[in-house]
Amino acid sequence: MRGPQVRFCERRGGATCRAYSTRSAASSKIAPTSPTAASTKPDPEFTTDAKRRTFTADYKLRILEEADAASGDGLIGALLRREGLYSSLLSTWRRERLEGTLDGRKRGPQARPVDLRDEELRKLRRENERLAIELRKAHLVIEVQKKVASLWERQVGPEEKS
């Protein structure tokens, strides 16, 4: 067994990288090519622009019907491979079919219907809390004023007041 061999690495644009294998670089099946040859021939496994696939409700229903009709071993797998789908999509589409939202939903949080009475009630409660706080402050000020007046009367006395 030999140590790591230095081989050509296509993914790094022609730079060498260490490949940990027991075979020598000469017996490697990866043939070194020039960097220009690698850039002219695109890799078929990768696309330059990834796009989110969208499916129509008719397509989803057709696939679900075919999957439900498949009774033999491996027929659902063959259907998924033929259409390029994942089994998790079937689960999601079945759940959506039960909920009645198979035609599609918008992504993100669902908007709740706004009830004007609830909004008005929230606004009035906030205003009530604000006014209650102001009333407590006013009561404190009045209590302080009463105490100051009583202390003033004690210091000055009733005969000097007039």
Q: What is the pLDDT of residues 22-44, one digit of tens each?
A: 444 444 444 445 555 555 676 66
Question: What average pLDDT does the structure give for the chain?
Answer: 77
Residue 8 · residue 36 · CB < 8 Å: no
Q: Is 115 inside any structural domain?
A: no
Domain total in the chain: 3
Q: Is 26 inside any structural domain?
A: yes
Q: Degrees (nearest 5) of the Cα angle 138, 139, 141?
A: 65
Q: Which domain holds residue 75?
A: 57-99
31 and 62 in a common domain: no
pLDDT on residue 79? 93
Which residues fall within 8 angstroms of residue 34, CB to CB, at 6 or more apart?
14
pLDDT at position 152 over 90: no
pLDDT tens column, 63-75: 999 999 988 889 9
93 and 62 in a common domain: yes
